[in-house]
Chain A
Amino acid sequence: MADDREPPPLFDDEKPDKKEEEDDLFATPNEAPKEEVKDEPASLPTEPAQDKASEDLFAADDDLFGDKQEGPVEVDTSKLRRKLTEDVDDLSPIEEPKPLIPTAADSGKPPQSDAAAKKEPPKEKEKAKEVKPAYKEEPANVSTDQPLLKPMKVSVDLHTPKPAQNMQEESAAPPQLEVVDEPPPEMDISGEGEEVDLDSPETEGPSSPAKMEPDSDSSPLEAPPMAEVLPPAKPVTEEKPKPTPAPRKPSMEKSKEEVGYTSFAQIEEEESGDQFALDIKVHDPGKIGDGMGAYMSYKVTTQCLDFGEEKKTSIPAFRRPSMTVTRRFSDFLGLHEKLSQKHVHIGRIVPPAPEKSVVGMTKIKMSKEDTSSTEFVEKRRALLERFLQRISIHPVLQMDPDFRDFLEQDELPRATSTSAVSGAGVLRLIKGVGDTLSKVTIKMDESDQWFEEKQNQVEALDQQLKKLHASVEALVTYRKELGISTAAFAKSTAMLSNSEEHTALSRALSQLAEVEEKIEQVHLEQADNDFFLLSELLKDYIGIIQAIRIVFHERVKSFHNWQNAQQTLAKKREAEAKFKQTGKTDKIAHAQEEIREWEGKVE
Chain B
Amino acid sequence: MMDGLDDSPDLLAEDENKPRTESVDLTKDDTLSIDISDALSERDRVKFTVHTKTTLPDFRESEFSVVRQHEEFIWLHDRFVENEEYGGYIIPPAPPRPDFDASREKLQKLGEGEGTMTKEEFTKMKQELEAEYLATFKKTVAMHEVFLQRLAAHPAFRKDTNFRVFLEYDQDLSVRLKNKKEKLGWFIKSMSQSVDEVLLSNQKDADEFFEQEKGFLVEYHNRIAQSTKCADRMTKMHKSVADSYIKLSTGLGSLATCENTELDNYLPSSVRGASKETTKVFNKVSECFEKSRKLEARVSSDEDLKLSDTLRYYLRDTSAAKDLLYRRTRALADYENANKDLDKARAKNRNVQQAEQAQQRACEKYEHLSELAKSELQDFKKRRVGAFRKNLVELAELEIKHAKALNQLYRNCIAQLKEEGRAAKAQPQ
Query: A and B: partners?
Result: yes
- Which residue numbers of A lie inside 8 Å of B, CB to CB? 1, 4, 96, 139, 141-142, 144-145, 260-261, 264-265, 267-268, 271-272, 450, 453-454, 456-457, 460-461, 464-465, 467-468, 471-472, 474-475, 478-479, 481-482, 485-486, 488-489, 491-493, 495-496, 498-502, 504-505, 508-509, 512
Would you call A499 and B216 a contact (CB within 8 A)? yes
Would you call B220 and A496 a contact (CB within 8 A)? yes
Q: How far is the CB of A242 from chain B (nearest CB, A)?
A: 33
| Chain A to chain B: the 10 pairs with minimum beta-carbon distance, closest first | A471-B247, A489-B230, A482-B237, A468-B251, A457-B262, A492-B227, A475-B244, A141-B270, A485-B233, A492-B226
| B223 surroundings in chain A (CB, below 8 A) | 492, 495-496, 498-499
| B255 surroundings in chain A (CB, below 8 A) | 461, 464-465, 468
Other than the given A467-B247, A488-B233, 13 more pairs (CB < 8 A) read A4-B266, A264-B278, A267-B274, A478-B240, A481-B237, A482-B240, A485-B234, A489-B233, A489-B234, A492-B230, A498-B223, A502-B385, A505-B385
Q: With the chains together, A492 CA to B275 CA distance in Å?
A: 50
**Is B80's beta carbon under 8 Å from chain A?**
no
Would you call B268 and A142 a contact (CB within 8 A)? yes
Interface set, chain B 329-380, CB cutoff 8 A to A: none
22 intermolecular pairs with C-beta atoms under 8 Å apart:
A4-B265, A144-B269, A260-B266, A260-B271, A264-B271, A264-B278, A265-B274, A268-B274, A454-B266, A471-B248, A478-B241, A481-B237, A489-B234, A495-B223, A495-B227, A496-B220, A498-B223, A501-B381, A504-B385, A505-B384, A508-B389, A512-B392
Would you call A505 and B389 a contact (CB within 8 A)? yes
Would you call A264 and B274 a contact (CB within 8 A)? yes
Would you call A265 and B271 a contact (CB within 8 A)? yes
With A482-B238, A492-B226 known to touch, is A475 a contact of B245 (CB < 8 Å)? yes
Closest A residue, CB atoms, query B228 = A492
| B238 surroundings in chain A (CB, below 8 A) | 482
Q: How far is the CB of B317 from chain A (nearest CB, A)?
A: 14
Q: With the chains together, A139 CA to B273 CA distance in Å?
A: 15
Would you call B244 and A493 a contact (CB within 8 A)? no
Q: How far is the CB of B262 from chain A (nearest CB, A)?
A: 4
Would you call B266 and A464 a contact (CB within 8 A)? no
Closest B residue, CB atoms, query A144 = B269
Would you call B241 and A485 a contact (CB within 8 A)? no
Would you call B392 and A471 a contact (CB within 8 A)? no
Would you call B244 and A471 a contact (CB within 8 A)? yes
| B233 surroundings in chain A (CB, below 8 A) | 485, 488-489
Q: With the chains together, A478 CA to B237 CA distance in Å?
A: 6
Would you call A474 and B247 a contact (CB within 8 A)? yes
Q: With the chains together, A271 CA to B428 CA distance in Å?
A: 15
Q: How far is the CB of A552 from chain B (nearest CB, A)?
A: 15
Interface set, chain B 230-266, CB cutoff 8 A to A: 230-231, 233-234, 236-238, 240-241, 244-245, 247-248, 251-252, 254-255, 258-259, 262-263, 265-266
Would you call B267 and A479 a contact (CB within 8 A)? no
| A261 surroundings in chain B (CB, below 8 A) | 271
Q: With the chains together, A190 CA to B421 CA distance in Å?
A: 42
Closest B residue, CB atoms, query A467 = B251
| A502 surroundings in chain B (CB, below 8 A) | 381, 384-385
Would you call A485 and B219 a contact (CB within 8 A)? no
Would you call B224 and A260 a contact (CB within 8 A)? no
| B230 surroundings in chain A (CB, below 8 A) | 485, 488-489, 491-492
| A505 surroundings in chain B (CB, below 8 A) | 384-385, 388-389
Would you call B224 and A139 a contact (CB within 8 A)? no
Would you call A489 and B269 a contact (CB within 8 A)? no
| B227 surroundings in chain A (CB, below 8 A) | 489, 492-493, 495-496
**Is B425's beta carbon under 8 Å from chain A?**
yes
Would you call A271 and B271 a contact (CB within 8 A)? no
Would you call B237 and A453 a contact (CB within 8 A)? no
Q: With the chains together, A509 CA to B393 CA distance in Å?
A: 11
With A260-B268, A460-B262, A461-B255 known to touch, is A478 a contact of B244 (CB < 8 Å)? yes
| B252 surroundings in chain A (CB, below 8 A) | 468
Q: With the chains together, A478 CA to B255 CA distance in Å?
A: 23
Q: How far is the CB of B311 from chain A (nearest CB, A)?
A: 9
| A501 surroundings in chain B (CB, below 8 A) | 216, 381
With A456-B262, A499-B220 known to touch, is A145 a contact of B389 (CB < 8 Å)? no
Q: With the chains together, A522 CA to B228 CA distance in Å?
A: 22
- Which residue numbers of B lie inside 8 Å of A, CB to CB? 216, 219-220, 223-224, 226-227, 229-231, 233-234, 236-238, 240-241, 244-245, 247-248, 251-252, 254-255, 258-259, 262-263, 265-271, 274-275, 277-278, 381, 384-385, 388-389, 392, 421, 425, 428
With A145-B269, A471-B247, A496-B223 known to touch, is A486 a contact of B263 (CB < 8 Å)? no
| B259 surroundings in chain A (CB, below 8 A) | 461
Q: With the chains together, A479 CA to B242 CA distance in Å?
A: 10
| A460 surroundings in chain B (CB, below 8 A) | 258, 262
| A457 surroundings in chain B (CB, below 8 A) | 258, 262-263
Q: With the chains together, A450 CA to B385 CA distance in Å?
A: 71
Q: With the chains together, A264 CA to B260 CA distance in Å?
A: 12
Q: With the chains together, A271 CA to B274 CA distance in Å?
A: 11
Would you call A482 and B241 a contact (CB within 8 A)? yes
Q: With the chains together, A485 CA to B238 CA distance in Å?
A: 10
With A464-B254, A468-B255 known to touch, is A453 a contact of B248 (CB < 8 Å)? no
With A1-B265, A486-B234, A505-B389 known to touch, is A499 a contact of B258 (CB < 8 Å)? no
Would you call A464 and B251 a contact (CB within 8 A)? yes
Would you call B248 and A472 a contact (CB within 8 A)? yes
| B263 surroundings in chain A (CB, below 8 A) | 264, 453, 457
Would you call A145 and B262 a contact (CB within 8 A)? no
Q: With the chains together, A584 CA to B317 CA distance in Å?
A: 110
Closest A residue, CB atoms, query B243 = A478
With A464-B258, A501-B216, A505-B389 known to touch, is A144 a contact of B268 (CB < 8 Å)? yes
Would you call B381 and A461 a contact (CB within 8 A)? no
Q: How far is the CB of A497 from chain B (nearest CB, A)?
A: 9
Q: With the chains together, A481 CA to B381 CA distance in Å?
A: 34
Closest A residue, CB atoms, query B241 = A478
| A142 surroundings in chain B (CB, below 8 A) | 268
Q: How far is the CB of A109 from chain B (nearest CB, A)?
A: 29
Would you call A499 and B219 a contact (CB within 8 A)? yes
Closest B residue, CB atoms, query A272 = B425
| B269 surroundings in chain A (CB, below 8 A) | 141, 144-145
Would you call A260 and B267 a contact (CB within 8 A)? yes
Closest A residue, CB atoms, query B254 = A464
| B267 surroundings in chain A (CB, below 8 A) | 260, 264
Q: With the chains together, A548 CA to B388 CA distance in Å?
A: 59
Would you call B268 and A508 a contact (CB within 8 A)? no
| A456 surroundings in chain B (CB, below 8 A) | 262
Q: With the chains together, A272 CA to B426 CA distance in Å?
A: 13
Closest A residue, CB atoms, query B234 = A485
Q: With the chains together, A509 CA to B384 CA distance in Å?
A: 13
Would you call B268 and A489 a contact (CB within 8 A)? no
Q: How far is the CB of B222 from chain A (nearest CB, A)?
A: 9
| B385 surroundings in chain A (CB, below 8 A) | 502, 504-505
Closest A residue, CB atoms, query B229 = A492
Closest A residue, CB atoms, query B275 = A264
Would you call B270 and A139 a contact (CB within 8 A)? yes
Q: With the chains together, A504 CA to B382 CA distance in Å?
A: 12
Q: How far is the CB of B101 from chain A (nearest CB, A)?
A: 22
Closest A residue, CB atoms, query B263 = A457
Q: With the chains together, A271 CA to B266 CA distance in Å?
A: 23
Q: With the chains together, A278 CA to B251 CA distance in Å?
A: 34
Q: With the chains together, A489 CA to B248 CA distance in Å?
A: 27
| B245 surroundings in chain A (CB, below 8 A) | 475
Q: How far is the CB of A478 from chain B (nearest CB, A)?
A: 4
Would you call A271 and B220 a contact (CB within 8 A)? no
With A264-B271, A496-B224, A500-B220 known to touch, is A461 a contact of B244 (CB < 8 Å)? no
Most buried by B among A265, A268, A472, A491: A268
| B270 surroundings in chain A (CB, below 8 A) | 139, 141
Q: With the chains together, A496 CA to B268 CA distance in Å?
A: 65
| A272 surroundings in chain B (CB, below 8 A) | 425
Would you call A461 and B234 a contact (CB within 8 A)? no
Q: With the chains together, A482 CA to B239 CA distance in Å?
A: 9
